[in-house]
Amino acid sequence: MSEPSKRKPLPVLSVRGLNKTFTVGGQTVEALRNVDLRIEKGEFVCLIGASGCGKSTLLRILAGFETATDGVVEMYGKPINGPSPERGMVFQDYGLFPWLTVAQNIAFGPRQRGMSAKQLHELSMHYTDMVGLGKFANYYPGQLSGGMKQRVAIARVLANDCDVLLMDEPFGALDALTRERLQQELLDIWARTGVTIIFVTHAVEEAVMLSDRVVVMTAGPGRIERDIALELPRPRDITGIEFNQVRRDITQYLSSHVAIKAAA
């Protein structure tokens, strides 16, 4: 047995031998087969792969919205049995409450947990400012742009004290400029908070810009094909030789091994 000080810390998330099948109208769909994945605290990991390879299903299992058919899915060594504020999900379509203001959306989770009005106000102001929406605290989602809505969605899960941010193509519906701006803001938030991020994307460039590791999944049923550690220094330069070399390698790998239109 190793000494306590030398023991490897528990991973934030650990998936071992995960299988997931769905049964629809008597037909079985095998979505994930024998997936193993270990995510360390503070990592930024992108999942990439062909459409239908099970990226969203894996994220939903980590969130606790779906259960595994077989295998182990743990957070800090404890089984994930359902949704929890410590694992916050950000969707492409924002998922905000349209009848609540920005500040109220952000304070929603803590309010449910019984936080006082004064604390709620301070918390929502803190996170509204963190995502640069201080002036828009009293706006409703319908009065915001897509990028602003996604900032609110990110602030809402952070305000809920999440340890892990699970992001399902969060910037997929945004124009290129807004997307780049939000990528930079997300990297700032990640650096400031130390939150662990698992981010699903179809875009190789986005994965190389953001992540410590790119996990490539293959379709039919979804398996992990490659787990690529990115050694590129930060901040990353999208025009740099190294950046483009890595981007090209991953794109070539995807197009030769995985049926995907690599949006790079």
Ligand X SMILES: Nc1ncnc2c1ncn2[C@@H]1O[C@H](COP(=O)(O)OP(=O)(O)OP(=O)(O)O)[C@@H](O)[C@H]1O
What are the residues binding ligand X (CB under 6 A)?
Answer: 22, 24, 29, 31, 51-57
Minimum gap (Å) between residue 217 Cβ and ligand X: 7
Nearest CB to ligand X, comparing residues 31 and 189? 31
Minimum gap (Å) between residue 175 Cβ and ligand X: 20
C-alpha count within 13 angstroms, C-beta hemisphere, residue 213: 21
Contact 252, 228 (CB under 8 A): no
Nearest CB to ligand X, comparing residues 56 and 211? 56
Cα–Cα distance for residue pair 101/126, rounded to 1 Å: 15
Nearest CB to ligand X, comparing residues 56 and 150? 56
Coil/strand/helix, residue 127: helix
Sheet containing 196-200, strands listed edge to edge, beginning at the edge strand earlier in sequence: 87-90, 164-168, 196-200, 44-49, 213-218, 223-229
Nearest CB to ligand X, comparing residues 17 and 220? 220
Cα–Cα distance for residue pair 222/68, rounded to 1 Å: 13
b or e along 103-123 (b: 16 or more beta carbons within 10 Å of the residue's beta carbon)? Answer: bbbbbbbbbeeebeeeebeeb
Minimum gap (Å) between residue 7 Cβ and ligand X: 34
Cα–Cα distance for residue pair 68/57, rounded to 1 Å: 10
Nearest CB to ligand X, comparing residues 54 and 88? 54
> CA triplet 157, 175, 57: central angle to 5 degrees?
45
Minimum gap (Å) between residue 225 Cβ and ligand X: 13
Nearest CB to ligand X, comparing residues 52 and 95? 52
Minimum gap (Å) between residue 31 Cβ and ligand X: 3
Minimum gap (Å) between residue 53 Cβ and ligand X: 4
Distances from the Cα of 203 to the Cα of 66, 79, 224, angstroms: 25, 31, 17
Cα–Cα distance for residue pair 189/42, rounded to 1 Å: 12
Dihedral (C-alpha) 85, 52, 70, 13: value to the nearest 10 degrees?
-40
Minimum gap (Å) between residue 66 Cβ and ligand X: 7
Nearest CB to ligand X, comparing residues 159 and 168? 168
